[in-house]
Amino acid sequence: MFKPKKKQKDPTQHSDKAVLDYNGERKAPDMKTFVEYNMPNYADRISFPTDLPKSLQKATKFGLPTAMLFPRKPKTSSITKFLSTIFRRRLLLVEVVPNMKNEELMKQYDIVPDQLPVLIIQKEDSSIVRYDGTDFSRRKLERFLSEHAKKEPVYKPVVVSEDDKSEEGDETKRKVHTEF
């Protein structure tokens, strides 16, 4: 009999799953470390104050609110990785590393190192909302972020209207080629 032909894979789709092999000991702490290390992380990590404007520019380009997390520890926690994956493309999660270089950012947002961890939301209109809870559990953080995140994911940059372009002045205009 004849076998059916296999469909060719579409080269533009990347739906293949990456399989990771675990070759360590079969003990819970070792396996937990392996899983946490390999979790996807879509949070922007701010190690230097000069990194923040790039992240804020990305948020304005896509019209996303920005959640800025000031953690107590320099290592990215598994909750932060989880939240960055859940709210990917609906909210930009920025993690500001607690180091000496980022102290001026903490002063800019009125954060004292004794108060860490702190979570603030900076909306598109540059208003700031601060998380008032003392419990940083996954469920409470997810509820707080879902109130301020977009309802639908954003895949394309926000289009600037013609009125906004004329006010900016220095922006170069793109030439549009039309055929009749």
DSSP 21-51: ---S-S-HHHHHHHHHHTS---PEEESSGGG
What is the reported pTM? Answer: 0.75
pLDDT tens by residue, 40-99: 999 999 999 999 999 999 999 999 999 999 999 999 999 999 999 999 999 999 999 999
- Report helix, strand and coil shares of the chain as percent, to nearest 5: 35, 10, 55
Q: How confident is the model at residue 124 (pLDDT cuts 50, 70, 90)?
A: confident
